[in-house]
Chains A and B, each alone.
Chain A
């Protein structure tokens, strides 16, 4: 492998961008490809499939033996709102393999006592996100019901292409949210990506059950994220 290939790969990983390295086992050549860039036509299917499945694989393309290795950013969850649901979600998420961060400017809610061992930022999303940007491998769950707190991060998550954007609130609350986003010029297609009411419909009643429903919905969105993209293209 050329040093430049290794450098390109490490740069992508640091920037939380997905990458595939194609090793041509016959020639010993290796090339790094970053998600979102155009891939060479002959390898496009193999690279795309490796990104989708997130599984490194051997492949034979045009009689050449290839090994495709894949490097995905670790998925994470950003929760807006240091509420009861968030306390349960903060304990569940690591079990399922997600890092989790909670943002809430209301210092009465965002206390260390209620969220021991959790990354908790007692600040507005407007102040947090510029230095800690959302990305395609981040799920955003907005659970305060408060437009002043929730609306900005929801828009930021849609802009960043987060694989999941969920918002707590009744259908009525969500209808009002949709009107505000429309008025702010957010495209219909983006608004349609918001999961609301939040969480899989399992009849969740308690905060812990709602957290399970939200986490299950996040896992589903992560595992099916390619399908969503295809639908949007089509």
Chain B
């Protein structure tokens, strides 16, 4: 029931960017454990230049997701990324909040 009307909507942005001829990838949180900062279903949209809007973690892992988005945009093959304290990547990307998340990353094709 949160009112996020004032926050730029990643799904609207994804459609608008695609309309401008930009390559677009969409990241979605599909699973969380522990104190993950963004709920399941949250979106991050990334373009081919690495511009992004939205969030999947409140800032901890966005950099890594944006980096991986370039590969998904190039290949068109969706990927599932996992971040968490059990994974050394977590320390590298800084998910220091103690949570773990899985993120589904896909290209918008049209």
Q: How many A-B residue pairs have CB under 8 A?
A: 63
Please state if B110 and A2 are interface contacts (CB–CB under 8 Å).
Answer: yes
Min CB distance A203 to B, Å, is 27
Output the nearest chain B residue to A74 by Cβ-Cβ distance: B3
Count class of interface residues, chain B: 20 to 34
The reply to whether the CB of B57 lies closer than 8 angstroms to some CB of chain A is no
Please state if B1 and A13 are interface contacts (CB–CB under 8 Å).
Answer: no
Please state if A10 and B1 are interface contacts (CB–CB under 8 Å).
Answer: no
Flag B25-36 by CB within 8 Å of A: 1 or 0 each: 010101100000
Measured in the bound complex, the distance between the Cα atoms of B18 and A110 in whole Å is 45
The reply to whether the CB of B106 lies closer than 8 angstroms to some CB of chain A is yes
Report the count of interface residues on A (CB-CB < 8 A): 26
A99 CB contacts on chain B under 8 angstroms: 3
The reply to whether the CB of A1 lies closer than 8 angstroms to some CB of chain B is yes
Please state if B109 and A1 are interface contacts (CB–CB under 8 Å).
Answer: yes
CB proximity to B under 8 Å, residues A30-62: 30, 55-58
A75 CB contacts on chain B under 8 angstroms: 1
A30 CB contacts on chain B under 8 angstroms: 106
Please state if B30 and A67 are interface contacts (CB–CB under 8 Å).
Answer: yes
Min CB distance A70 to B, Å, is 7
| Given contact pairs A25-B80, A28-B106, A70-B41, A7 touches B15 in the complex (Cβ within 8 A) | yes
Please state if B3 and A6 are interface contacts (CB–CB under 8 Å).
Answer: no
The reply to whether the CB of A97 lies closer than 8 angstroms to some CB of chain B is yes
| Given contact pairs A1-B26, A2-B109, A28-B78, A58 touches B31 in the complex (Cβ within 8 A) | yes
CB proximity to A under 8 Å, residues B1-41: 1-3, 5, 11-12, 14-15, 18, 26, 28, 30-31, 40-41
Interface centre among B12, B31, B41 (most CB of A within 10 A): B41
14 A-B pairs in the complex with CB atoms less than 8 angstroms apart: A2-B108, A6-B18, A6-B108, A9-B11, A10-B12, A23-B28, A23-B30, A23-B104, A25-B30, A56-B40, A57-B40, A67-B28, A69-B28, A97-B3
